[in-house]
Amino acid sequence: MIFRRAQRVFVFVIFLALHAQARAQSPASSSPAKPATKPDSALDPGAVTNSIYRNKSLALTCKIPPGWVLRTDELNLRDEKSAEKKEEEEKKEEEKKNEAQPPAASSAGARVLFAAFSRPPEAPGEEVNSSILIAAENAAAYPGLTEAAQYFFPLTEVFKAQGFIPDEDPYEIAIGPKTLPRADFHKNVGSRVMHQSTLVMLSHGYAISITVIGGTDDEVEDLIDGLSFTGPGK
């Protein structure tokens, strides 16, 4: 399958937010792969001003609920050495198995553009720790990826591995001038239910995922309502 190898690397990006969620739900209580080359300068990492995240490259804005904490830098830097080491080990292993074959496409370039939580991920709490995560991964890591909806193949496997159950097949929703594929999931955490929705798009050579998690469907919808796009969308 064209997505199998790169999927292992993307786990580092999305797992950070989901793992932080799991720790936050506990009463007691793999990082993104470091790019081998400089990230595409055409992709704006975005910035936060007056509780609004803005990304010019994606023509995207995202409202940050009052009192939420930003964790973009922490998710990008935490376990960076561990992720780099793991990728290096996997590369050596594959080189031994495929010495006579051309190298597989590089999956370097996975990173978090924006991450925000309703409370610090390490802080325990009774309620679901709602969150917004916007991540970008080098689309070249997925030979044959031509439509955004195809990106749900590896994403869904990652989500299932973390205990999330798909609610239904992916479908399209319109946000302003842009139409994006969307998929909904849920996960039982004790007496609580985590509701998750992910939207995906292709832009500037990257596969972009926008994932929101909330304690109810209404909360998830409110978070998605905080997203907006400007200008013509494809």
Task: Find residue 69's DSSP bridge partners.
Answer: 117
* Angstrom distances, CA of residue 167 to CA of 14, 25, 223: 19, 22, 18
Task: Give the mean pLDDT of the chain.
Answer: 78
Helix and strand totals (H; E) in the chain: 5, 12
Question: Could you read off the pLDDT of 168-220 as tens digits, one per residue?
Answer: 999 999 999 999 999 999 999 888 999 999 999 999 999 999 999 999 999 99
Segment 32-40 shows an average pLDDT of 39
Q: Does 162 reside within a domain?
A: yes
Q: Please report how many Cα atoms fall inside a 13 Å half-sphere around the Cα of residue 130, on the Cβ side.
A: 17
What are 181's two structure tokens? Answer: 């594929």
pLDDT given for residue 109 in this prediction: 62
Determine the distance from the C-alpha atom of residue 215 to the mean position of all C-alpha atoms in its chain, rounded to a whole number.
19
Q: Which residue has the higher pLDDT, 154 or 105?
A: 154
Our count of domains for the chain comes to 1
Question: pLDDT tens digits for 144-175?
Answer: 999 999 999 999 999 999 999 999 999 999 99
Is residue 200 in some structural domain? yes
pTM attached to this predicted model = 0.76
User: Is 177 part of any domain?
Assistant: yes
CATH code of the domain in which 191 resides = 3.40.1000.10
**What element of type H or E holds 12?**
helix 4-25
The arithmetic mean of pLDDT across residues 120-143, rounded, is: 89
More confident residue, 39 or 149: 149
Quote the DSSP letter at residue 91: H
Tokens of 66: 């009052």
Residue 234 lies in a domain: no
Split at pLDDT 50, 70, 90, the class of 228 is: very high
- Please indicate, yes or no, if residue 74 is contained in any of the structural domains: yes
Q: Look at residue 124 and tell me if it is in a domain.
A: yes
Range of the domain at 144: 4-229
